[in-house]
């Protein structure tokens, strides 16, 4: 057995059986080892950001850690943007980064780069394996690290000679350490804070899903607190039957307004509220002066236990009442295309149990509003603000949940960052319907420039916002990647195309001309 | 004047007038400032690796430092792979990385990331600007840093409030420090080494271009030394009339053979020879034991001065003789497609003064052989081995040299990393002919696996090498980006398509079915 074989065996023995890969020469021994283990599912991504984003989507939907396989420092760097999103989502991922053989690193070869430095930019755990005999132990440690704190980014750097040298056997990953829990005084203080009125329970992470979300809804109902979450949810169960939840708005003025009446906030799985960006003359924080924030349970702590402890403190039964969202579907739209009609079409047609991946930066808000009362579904959002996450996360979500339809919403600007994921969707026959909002530019930036008071846009600003000369042809881009595509120019087109796409297995793309 | 305005003014005043941009919200004040300065050429790239690769190609062909504009740590990370190539090419680039406002960084906002850490992975100079009043000075210092050592990666991190705060005026960049030069004893030792027989003059960087290349040819002719360069040339002038030069081969056994008879090597602009990767049981170095290497002039030193000093030491006139490559064009190929015929078609049709960008990893060698005696041209290669460089470098080279035809060769696997550059080619009407070698997979990895002795390829290896299910349709991908495309199935198809593409302004793509 060589080091590579010991790694693959350790992964499988530890319950890690999915690998999103973009390997290179330094990873060839791992490819050879994987080839002897067909029980490991290897999903090829044609760009590394596709692999890291898919591993994020996979974790969000399955709660299971997948591996990525990335080629040296430049290949890892290409994965960083979506690892950033994954880290903010609290997703657990094991990155396997190949490097040159230990004895080759003393020379100035073309691909020599700062592998450990690249990992340190984004990983919460990094280890450089010293020898082939250590690979199994280090691989198991990486899995334990990735499963710690509810989900972390762990990166194992494997010099090529640690793959081909002799190793002894597999190692099973140890269980991660127990999650931190708040003390009883904090529970009591939080319950008190929530019951004082003009309070919010701000939740994220595992609190956004059953059974914890119901518990959060029961606590909100019992205390009169508002139930809120960040806009950048890793995975939120919403729609009919779920507790209604207020998402913090992206626009700074709306975010200020959403918090204006609050005297207190209790955090459970979420960070303290902060505006997405700073703007001249506006505060960084959306909370009013004097609003007291209880850091009850920060990200990485034991969210489920904390909510149960709060419920117990409040003497709530398992069947305590909570507000539920009614099913309220809009009529199917007709006529000229407008964003409100797109929102209605999605809300009306989205099947029960769908996974809705939302990276429609400019057009996301009306769609979120319309789908709030749609059939029950999971919502996955770009957690770290690094665009190019939508298609990869949809890919990983579909790998994790082959029986659930995935609908991925993306602006044209966002989708261009990682469009190679379309090919992986076709390759793996993933049931993803991709909706591209062809607004022909970085519309979000137009708005941001206007926020600065710049109302006249000249040649250079045009040159940096507009993606309309030439027009991107998304139907052709889809076909180029092996995905069937249609263009919807009217609301009727969209309703027909979306209905057809949702009824057809495998990936489909619809370009929505706005 | 605000900080952003002072930066743009400092750039223009210092002779930096081209910016390859993929901006985000934190860069909006710079966009507004650029908008007031139409003399700055802003080229939009739809992915950050396209921006950094274009800045690299621009520097290689013009010798001028361009700026990139990148959005926070994730946006910068997307640029790292091609900055890695640019660094190995010795290209000078100023990266402007926006960050959150200084006072906003204390909060856990979604896009908060390790901007300085990301820069440190690849930059040779990093500065975080402290206040708006420092932006002009820091911008000028970044240009000086990028022009130092013949070309370096300099990154300026600009918190958003340094862009919108008050500033006083522009600052002109100081001249970079003088390049280091070898001492006289080293010149004499190198001349002696070259004259002893079984020696090579190994050149790279500026030594690969007129007038230094001619001087290197004269020194080789006078001493009997072999003229060699790394395969990963930043920019090599070659073809008819130029001195012939032996490129170090990529395959390890060929590289060993190419150095087997050498007793001595003199470095001028190049690093010491090293095999691209380490392989079990094979040496890291291609040079035989006892081969003496004179580190005469390492990358970043004064290559031109050194070659002239060598020539002076050898008492060579400016018109000393040197070997020149004869013009020897193959016949136009016909019949079924083969890589040798592709090579002949390119060699026969490539116009004088063309810029040949070669990222055809698997198929590059026969094309390099066939074009060695073609009409004089510049050759640009993936210097750092990070694939996805070809299309971006071709973009930047075409921006730098609007009157020269650019031919970009890429494998299908490589081109997928940064295919968004096609859009920028169309947007800027760049005269680039893109040839995609559709071998439907990472062929180079098949070879590497075979190098390990793995001859039977199973399901998982297939899953990670083959890009044939589904087939990528490059004509559709080109059309999607606004670039006209054709598919060439036979040599006759290719000859017709290549002739037409070279005669037509603007970008064209030809998918070569192999």
Interface of A with B in 110-139 (CB under 8 A): 110-111, 113-114, 117-118, 120-122
Chain B, nearest residue to A34 by Cα = B460
pLDDT, position A154: 98
Tokens of A463: 């040159």
The CA-atom distances, in angstroms, between A190 and each of A179, A239, A286, A310 are 19, 27, 20, 8
Edge-first strand order for the sheet with B406-411 is B236-238, B377-381, B354-359, B406-411, B432-438, B508-513, B485-488
**B95: pLDDT strictly greater than 90:** yes
Q: How confident is the model at residue B30 (pLDDT cuts 50, 70, 90)?
A: confident
- Nearest CB to B121; choose among A77, A103, A474: A77
Q: Give the integer Cα–Cα distance in Å for B356 and B353.
A: 9
Find where tokens 């290719």 sit.
B494
Exposed/middle/buried for A499, CB within 10 Å: 0-12, 13-18, 19+? middle
Residue B44 β-bridge partners: B21
- Nearest CB to B110; choose among A49, A88, A280: A88
Chain B, nearest residue to A479 by Cα = B476
pLDDT digits (tens, 9 = 90+) for B423-450: 999 999 999 999 999 887 767 777 777 7
Interface of B with A in 234-273 (CB under 8 A): 271-272
Which residues of chain B have a CB within 8 Å of the CB of A471? 482
The CA-atom distances, in angstroms, between B209 and each of A168, B238, B352, B392 are 53, 9, 16, 22
ipTM of the complex, rounded to two decimals: 0.96
B125 CA: distance to closest CA in chain A (Å): 15
pLDDT, position B496: 98
Q: Does B25 touch chain A (CB under 8 A)?
A: yes
Edge-first strand order for the sheet with A41-44 is A41-44, A18-21, A66-71, A93-99, A153-159, A125-128
Q: B272 and A164: CB-CB below 8 Å?
A: no
pLDDT, position B175: 98
Contact B34/A461 with Cβ under 8 angstroms?
yes
Q: A477 and B476: CB-CB below 8 Å?
A: yes
B426 CA: distance to closest CA in chain A (Å): 7
Which residues of chain B have a CB within 8 Å of the CB of A285? 107
CATH no. for A339-513: 3.40.50.970
Mean pLDDT, chain A, integer: 95
**B51: pLDDT strictly greater than 80:** yes
Q: Give the integer Cα–Cα distance in Å for A347 and A371.
A: 5
Tokens of A439: 């607004």
For an interface test with B, which of A31, A286, A429 has the most B Cβ atoms less than 10 Å from its Cβ?
A31
Contact B392/B432 with Cβ under 8 angstroms?
no
pLDDT digits (tens, 9 = 90+) for A29-86: 888 899 899 999 999 999 999 999 999 999 999 999 999 999 999 999 999 999 999 9
Let me know how long chain A is.
514
CB neighbours of B144 closer than 8 A, spacing ≥ 6? B173, B174, B175, B176
Q: How confident is the model at residue B462 (pLDDT cuts 50, 70, 90)?
A: confident
CATH architecture of B184-313: 3-Layer(aba) Sandwich (3.40)
Q: Does B494 touch chain A (CB under 8 A)?
A: no
- State yes or no: cis peptide before B275, omega within 30 of 0: no
β pairing state of B226-229 and B406-411: unpaired
Which residue has better confidence, B223 or B466?
B223
Which residues of chain A have a CB within 8 Å of the CB of B103? 278, 284
pLDDT, position A481: 98
Largest CA distance in chain A: 68
Q: Give the integer Cα–Cα distance in Å for B199 and B431.
A: 41
**B360: pLDDT strictly greater than 90:** no
Q: Does A67 touch chain B (CB under 8 A)?
A: no
pLDDT, position A68: 97
**A455: pLDDT strictly greater than 90:** no
Contact A55/A20 with Cβ under 8 angstroms?
yes
pLDDT, position A26: 72
CB neighbours of B13 closer than 8 A, spacing ≥ 6? B170, B171, B172
Tokens of A169: 């056997």
Q: How far apart are the first and last CA of chain A?
A: 57
**A460: pLDDT strictly greater than 80:** yes
Chain B, nearest residue to A458 by Cα = B35
Q: Is the dihedral of CA A470, A474, A479, A481 positive or negative?
A: positive
Q: A284 and B457: CB-CB below 8 Å?
A: no
Q: A28 and B275: CB-CB below 8 Å?
A: no
- Cβ contacts below 8 Å, chain A against chain B, sum to 329
Which residue has better confidence, B236 or B28?
B236
CATH 3.40.50.970 residue window(s) in chain A: 3-164, 339-513
Tokens of B398: 């075409």
pTM greater than 0.95: yes
Q: A274 and B454: CB-CB below 8 Å?
A: no
What is the arithmetic mean of pLDDT over A471-496? Answer: 97
Q: Give the integer Cα–Cα distance in Å for B48 and A79.
A: 13
Q: Give the integer Cα–Cα distance in Å for A118 and A137.
A: 22
For an interface test with A, which of B31, B101, B485 has the most A Cβ atoms less than 10 Å from its Cβ?
B31
pLDDT, position A151: 98
pLDDT digits (tens, 9 = 90+) for B150-163: 999 999 999 999 99
Among B316, B277, B292, which residue's Cα sits nearest to residue B202?
A: B292
**A123: pLDDT strictly greater than 90:** yes
pLDDT, position B28: 83
Percent of chain A with pLDDT over 70: 100
CATH no. for B3-164: 3.40.50.970
Interface of B with A in 310-349 (CB under 8 A): none
Q: A278 and B161: CB-CB below 8 Å?
A: yes
pLDDT, position A28: 83
Q: Give the integer Cα–Cα distance in Å for A477 and A420.
A: 10
Q: Does A419 touch chain B (CB under 8 A)?
A: yes
pLDDT, position A40: 96
Q: A121 and B122: CB-CB below 8 Å?
A: no
- State yes or no: cis peptide before A505, omega within 30 of 0: no
A25 CA: distance to closest CA in chain B (Å): 6
Q: Give the integer Cα–Cα distance in Å for A76 and A87.
A: 15
Contact A31/A70 with Cβ under 8 angstroms?
no
Residue A42 sits at φ, ψ, to 5 deg, of -105, 120
- Nearest CB to B104; choose among A121, A284, A383: A284
pLDDT, position A488: 97
Q: Give the integer Cα–Cα distance in Å for A383 and A369.
A: 19
pLDDT, position A23: 81
Which residues of chain A have a CB within 8 Å of the CB of B36? 458
Number of neighbouring beta carbons within 10 Å of residue B254? 13
User: For residue B87, what is the DSSP state?
Assistant: H
Contact B25/A446 with Cβ under 8 angstroms?
no
**B362: pLDDT strictly greater than 80:** no
pLDDT, position B266: 98
Chain A, nearest residue to B114 by Cα = A121
């Amino acid at each position: 057995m060589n080091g590579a074989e010991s790694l693959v065996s350790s992964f499988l023995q530890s319950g890690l059986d999915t690998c999103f890969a973009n390997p290179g020469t330094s990873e060839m021994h791992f490819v050879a080892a994987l080839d002897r283990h067909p029980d490991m599912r290897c999903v090829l991504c044609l760009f590394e950001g596709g692999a890291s984003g898919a591993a994020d989507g996979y974790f969000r939907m399955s709660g299971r850690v997948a591996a990525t396989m990335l080629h040296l420092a430049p290949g890892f760097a290409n994965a960083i943007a979506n690892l950033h999103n994954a880290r903010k989502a609290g997703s657990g991922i094991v990155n396997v980064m190949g490097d040159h053989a230990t004895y080759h690193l003393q020379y100035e070869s073309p691909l020599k780069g700062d592998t450990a430095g690249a990992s340190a930019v984004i990983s919460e755990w990094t280890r450089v394996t010293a020898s082939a005999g250590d690979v199994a132990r280090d691989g198991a440690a990486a899995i334990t690290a990735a499963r710690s704190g509810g989900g972390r980014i762990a990166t194992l750097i494997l010099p090529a000679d640690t793959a081909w040298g002799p190793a002894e056997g597999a190692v099973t990953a140890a269980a991660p350490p127990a999650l931190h829990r708040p003390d009883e005084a904090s529970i009591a203080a939080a319950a008190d804070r929530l019951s004082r009125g003009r309070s919010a329970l701000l939740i994220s992470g595992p609190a956004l899903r059953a059974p914890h979300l119901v518990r959060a809804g029961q606590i909100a109902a019992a205390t009169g607190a508002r139930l809120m979450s960040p806009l950048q949810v890793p995975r939120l169960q919403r729609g009919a039957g779920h507790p209604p939840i207020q998402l913090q708005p992206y626009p700074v003025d709306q975010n200020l307004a959403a918090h204006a009446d609050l005297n207190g906030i209790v955090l459970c799985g979420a960070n303290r509220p902060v505006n997405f960006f700073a703007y001249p003359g506006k505060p960084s924080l959306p909370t009013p002066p004097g609003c007291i924030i209880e850091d009850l349970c920060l990200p990485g702590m034991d969210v489920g236990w904390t909510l149960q402890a709060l419920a117990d403190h409040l003497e709530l039964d398992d069947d305590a009442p909570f507000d539920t969202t009614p099913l309220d579907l809009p009529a199917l739209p007709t006529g000229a295309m407008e964003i409100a009609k797109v929102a209605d079409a999605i809300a009306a047609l989205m099947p029960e149990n769908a996974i809705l991946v939302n990276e429609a930066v400019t057009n996301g808000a009306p769609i979120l509003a319309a789908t709030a009362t749609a059939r029950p579904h999971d919502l996955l959002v770009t957690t770290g603000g690094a665009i190019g996450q939508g298609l990869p996360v949809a890919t990983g979500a579909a790998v994790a949940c082959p029986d659930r339809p995935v609908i991925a919403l993306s602006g044209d600007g966002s989708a261009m960052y990682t469009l190679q994921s379309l090919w992986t969707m076709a390759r793996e026959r993933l049931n993803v319907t991709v909706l591209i909002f062809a607004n022909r530019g970085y519309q979000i930036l137009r708005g941001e420039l206007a926020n600065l008071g710049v109302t006249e846009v000249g040649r250079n600003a045009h040159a940096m916002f507009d993606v309309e000369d030439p027009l991107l042809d998304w139907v052709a881009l889809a076909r180029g990647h092996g995905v069937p595509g249609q263009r919807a120019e009217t609301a009727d087109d969209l309703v027909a195309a979306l209905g057809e796409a949702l009824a057809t297995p495998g990936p489909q793309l619809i370009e929505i001309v706005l």
